[in-house]
Amino acid sequence: MSSLVETWRWFGPNDPVSLSDIRQAGAKGVVSALHHVPHGEVWSLEEIRERKLIIEQAGLKWMVVESVPVHEAIKTRGAECEKYLENYRTSLRNLAACGLRLVCYNFMPVLDWTRTDLGITLPNGAKALYFDWRDLAAFDMFVLKRQGAEQDYRPEVLRQVEARYANMNEARRTELSDIILMGVPTEKGISLEQLQSSIDRYAVIGKEGLRDNWAYFMKAIGPVCEEEGITMTMHPDDPPYAILGLPRIVSHIEDLEYLVQAVPESYNSICFCTGSLGAGPFNDLPAMLDRIGERVEFVHLRNVRKDEMGNFYESDHLDGDVNMVQVMDKLLQLTSRRKSPLPFRPDHGHQMLDDLHKTTNPGYSAIGRLKGLGELRGLIAGLATH
Ligand code: DNO
């Protein structure tokens, strides 16, 4: 019988949330990455050791590496694919040499997670991340001016998109583009031109091609993972549908089943992100865990609330469209059958209280996540003794 282990994401020494804050939050493990290393470059032994030492000196343990980013040349199987695969293998070997064997990554083309607003104010005064189809369509049709973009939106979105764009002032238009083009907040975003040329590239690759490129990546790193005992845990698409015409391969249960069957070896596993998957109205999360739960090695717990148009905001951890009680119950059942602990992190939280006056990484302020963690911890304790 094993257990769920609380972890907390730390973006490194520049994170406004310190390791001492994390200890006070009660998390045992840290989820971290060398965000300053450009995508695709080798993570050196020295740098990994240094990061690990900083974490350990604070009395914590680096439990999950999130993420070792997969370079675009690998996702597109471009000219320098082999070079970047070799770099990736070297980074994995270096991580294993430091005792780090659980690695999270994603295979989303070009952009990591996408929102259209980084701080809508909730009725209680806290701020949350938000995704609105009308804003995405406005960016797509009037800023990016993607050919055929209008075919990708539902009529009710299209009916409102022009007025929506017309009502945005210049500052909001720039902000919206910046938000969409931003990847992980501590890393560099991309330009409009880069996005456009990637969209053209991925149009040729398509979903099947992206799946093939992913399988190629997995096979290429497989021997190193098996030799070194590394587990790769794949983060789902956030949000879980094709956006800006880019293909997606980790959005619903059929995708997840395909992935675990295509590469059945245990180094290929899933990061079960309830907020990402929960934004898809077609996803029934507890039922998903029944089907692929055994292949889950890392969990991100947060919630979302959707409206009829499919727009969503990040809601309180226990109060949203994802039935967190059922999800947690399933996770506890899974851990009771596991040999090793299953790490989870409270994922995003609201910007609230003192954090409203601080500059924080979107979604990653301390107090909101602490609130989420506290609620999840209570849920675990309640279910475990039930
Ligand atoms: C967002 C995060 C993602 C995640 C990566 C994993 O807050 O959950 O950025 O870290 O997609 O590769």
Tokens of 118: 């980084």
CATH assignment of 4-384, among 3.20.20.150, 3.30.413.10, 3.20.20.140, 3.30.360.10: 3.20.20.150
CA of residue 163 to ligand 1 center, whole Å: 32
| Active-site pick, 21, 132, 347, 355 | 347
**Does residue 22 carry a pLDDT above 90?**
yes
pLDDT, tens digit, 9 for 90 and up, residues 133-156: 999 999 999 999 999 999 999 999
Instruction: Report the C-alpha gap between 179 and 243 in whole angstroms.
Output: 14
**Does residue 2 carry a pLDDT above 80?**
no
Asked if 273 is an active-site residue, the reply is yes
Do strands 117-121 and 127-131 pair parallel, antiparallel, or not at all (unpaired)?
A: antiparallel
User: Among residues 273, 259, 269, 383, which one has the least CA distance to residue 333?
Assistant: 383
pLDDT, tens digit, 9 for 90 and up, residues 209-229: 999 999 999 999 999 999 999
Mean pLDDT, residues 99-122 taken together = 97
**CB 328 near ligand 1, within 6 Å:** no
Using pLDDT thresholds of 50, 70 and 90, give the confidence band for residue 385: confident
| Active-site pick, 39, 300, 317, 350 | 300
Asked if 347 is an active-site residue, the reply is yes
Mean pLDDT, residues 322-333 taken together = 98
Give domain limits for the chain: 4-384
Using pLDDT thresholds of 50, 70 and 90, give the confidence band for residue 386: confident
Q: Which residues contact 268 (CB under 8 A, 6 or more apart)?
A: 218, 232, 234, 259, 260, 295
In three-state secondary structure terms, 300 is: strand
Using pLDDT thresholds of 50, 70 and 90, give the confidence band for residue 1: low
pTM (global) more than 0.75:
yes
Instruction: Report the C-alpha gap between 304 and 106 in whole angstroms.
Output: 20
Longest dimension (CA), the chain: 58
**Does residue 174 carry a pLDDT above 80?**
yes
**Does residue 187 carry a pLDDT above 80?**
no
| Confidence at residue 71, expressed as pLDDT on a 0 to 100 scale | 97
User: How many percent of the chain have pLDDT more than 70?
Assistant: 99
Using pLDDT thresholds of 50, 70 and 90, give the confidence band for residue 78: very high
Tokens of 357: 């006056």
User: Among residues 205, 293, 215, which one has the least CA distance to residue 246?
Assistant: 205
Please give the radius of gyration of the chain, using alpha carbons only, rounded to the nearest integer: 20
